[in-house]
């Protein structure tokens, strides 16, 4: 199967710039002049405090049923764009982030116990590549605080919340399973779905859990703890495995009847900064992983596309390769608070160009006899 060789670089969107657009882009440019982690926290505080009002562009009227999609186990979504894990690790600001137009948000990664993460600096921009490198190390306030934060907002939430769970750094790998079970047990009923993160490159040894044997052990343990229920548990994989190892994990995830897979986490790099790279350089890798996964499950296992999505064309490419919906992260950093509306406008243009009326119709179309590309 011929893999994708290039992806569109991000543009400025097709919406007519308004005053609020200009203010949003100016604010984004100002925040990018600060150290990355400082600008992230400042932006989150501005959203949380209400001092930063995100004025929606006049696009909602164009969001008819053609942009709706179904994410199995999560439900019907207004559109396919969600926020990836890592942006709101402690579920502190879901309402503020939701005001930017996301159809759902994945919070975390959260671990059973609070931990400070890796030493700073641990977040780096690669602006010329529209990329980020992070080595955060699952810094978070722990499951108990996460639960309090989520409960405080749950009555005001109008969109689904996913919860991404990980293991504590101090937990030995042979006891990692207990951390995942403990996190899910603590947060049971607070989210629409869980994602088991065994793919971050920033916790020593974590990626070694991406194996057929661990997936089978995880399934057995969760079934025992949750009255056989694992239909709301997704697995997030990394893009750096060999094809055979990757497909072995996908095969186990499929046969054990997990909810689906999130493809992918960041790409491990060592230079110029060690950590996990997201953004444009990840796009091809994550898209190829969708193809590898589809070779195994033949469309039977739901997939969320994540990694290097910076334009409407990128969303289109992920969805025709079988992603039911997508998540962004780095695009929000580089394109600013109106990125969801701009991406939707660009995606709609892609559909119109091909005379496609319903977004749902393109899911997996790459694998049909007449490939859509």
Q: What is the mean pLDDT of residues 51-69?
A: 62
Task: Give dist(CA 17, CA 341) in Å, integer.
Answer: 12
The pLDDT of residue 47 is 75
Distances (CA, A) of 248 to 71, 213, 221, 360: 24, 10, 20, 28
Q: Which residues contact 316 (CB under 8 A, 6 or more apart)?
A: 347, 350, 351, 362
Confidence of residue 6 (pLDDT cuts 50, 70, 90): very low
What pLDDT band is residue 35 in, cutting at 50, 70 and 90?
A: low
Bigger pLDDT: 56 vs 216: 216
Phi-psi label, residue 278: left if phi above 0, alpha if psi -120 to 50, beta otherwise: beta
Per-residue confidence (pLDDT) for residue 33, from 0 to 100: 63
CB 242 within 8 A of CB 210: no
Q: pLDDT for 331-352, tens place per residue?
A: 999 998 899 999 999 999 999 9
Can you give the pLDDT at residue 17?
53
Residue 320 has a pLDDT of: 97
Q: What is the pLDDT at residue 64?
A: 57
The yes-or-no verdict on residue 154 having pLDDT over 50 is: yes
pLDDT digits (tens, 9 = 90+) for 107-126: 999 999 999 999 999 999 99
pLDDT over threshold 70, residue 1 = no
Q: Which DSSP string corresponds to 243-289?
A: HHHHHHHHHHHHHTT-SEEEE--PEEE-SSS-EEEEEGGGHHHHHHH
Beta carbons of 294 and 367 less than 8 angstroms apart = yes
Task: Sort 63 into a burial class: Cβ within 10 Å, 0-12 / 13-18 / 19+.
Answer: middle
Average pLDDT over residues 243-250: 98
Residues, the chain: 373
Over residues 71-79, the mean pLDDT reads 92
Q: What is the pLDDT of residues 205-238, one digit of tens each?
A: 999 999 999 999 999 999 999 998 999 999 999 9
Structure confidence at residue 45 (pLDDT): 72
DSSP assignment of 126-152: EGGGTEEEE---S-B--HHHHHHHHHH
- pTM, rounded to two decimals: 0.90
Task: Specify the range with the lowest mean pLDDT, choosing from 18-32, 276-290, 353-367.
Answer: 18-32
* Residue pair 90/115 in contact by the 8 Å Cβ criterion: no
Pairwise CA distance, residues 14 & 12, whole Å: 7
For residue 19, what pLDDT is reported?
46
The pLDDT value given to residue 9 = 41
Q: Strand 104-110 to strand 233-237: parallel, antiparallel, or no bridges (unpaired)?
A: unpaired
Domain ranges within the chain, ordered by starting residue? 60-367
Question: Which residues are annotated as catalytic?
Answer: 200
Tell me what the mean pLDDT of segment 30-57 comes to.
Answer: 64
DSSP letters spanning 303-350: EEEESS--SHHHHHHHHHTTEEEEEESHHHHHH-TTHHHHHHHHHHHH
- CATH class name, domain 60-367: alpha beta
Element (H, E) at 104: strand 104-110
Average pLDDT over the chain reads 88
pLDDT of residue 4: 39
* Four-CA torsion 296, 297, 301, 304, nearest 10 degrees: 40
- The pLDDT value recorded for residue 59 is 52
**CB-based contact 59:345 (threshold 8 Å):** yes
């Amino acid at each position: 199967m011929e893999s994708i060789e290039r992806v569109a670089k991000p543009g400025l969107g097709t919406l007519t710039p308004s005053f609020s657009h200009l203010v949003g882009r100016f604010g984004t440019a100002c925040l990018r002049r600060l150290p990355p982690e400082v600008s992230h926290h400042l932006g989150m505080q501005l959203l949380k405090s209400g001092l930063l009002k995100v004025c929606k562009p006049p696009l909602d009227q164009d969001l008819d049923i053609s942009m709706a999609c179904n994410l199995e186990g999560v439900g019907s979504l207004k559109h396919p764009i969600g926020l990836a894990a890592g942006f709101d690790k402690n579920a502190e600001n879901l309402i503020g982030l939701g005001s930017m137009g996301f159809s759902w948000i994945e919070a975390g990664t959260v671990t059973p116990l609070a931990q400070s993460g890796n030493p700073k600096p641990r977040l780096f921009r690669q602006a010329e590549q529209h990329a980020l490198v992070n080595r955060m190390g699952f810094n978070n306030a722990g499951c108990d605080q996460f639960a309090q934060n989520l409960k405080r907002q749950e009555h005001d939430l109008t969109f689904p919340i996913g919860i991404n769970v990980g293991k504590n750094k101090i937990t030995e790998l042979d006891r990692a399973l207990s951390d995942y079970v403990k996190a899910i047990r603590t947060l049971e009923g607070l989210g629409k779905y869980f994602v088991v993160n065994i793919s971050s490159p920033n916790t020593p040894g974590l990626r070694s859990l991406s194996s057929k044997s661990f997936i089978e052990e995880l399934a057995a343990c969760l079934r025992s703890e949750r009255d056989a229920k694992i239909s709301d548990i997704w697995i997030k994989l990394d893009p750096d495995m060999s094809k055979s190892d990757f497909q072995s994990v996908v095969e186990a995830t499929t046969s054990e009847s997990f909810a689906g897979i999130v493809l992918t986490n960041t790409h491990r790099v060592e230079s110029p900064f060690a950590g996990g790279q997201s953004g444009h350089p990840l796009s091809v890798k994550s898209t190829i992983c969708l193809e590898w996964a589809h070779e195994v499950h033949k469309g039977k296992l739901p997939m969320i596309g994540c990694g290097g999505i910076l334009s409407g064309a990128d969303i289109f490419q992920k969805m025709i390769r079988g992603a039911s919906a997508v998540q962004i992260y780095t695009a929000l950093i580089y394109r600013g608070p109106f990125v969801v509306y701009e991406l939707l406008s660009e995606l709609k243009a892609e559909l119109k160009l091909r005379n496609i009326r319903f977004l749902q119709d393109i899911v997996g179309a790459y694998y049909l006899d007449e490939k859509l590309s």
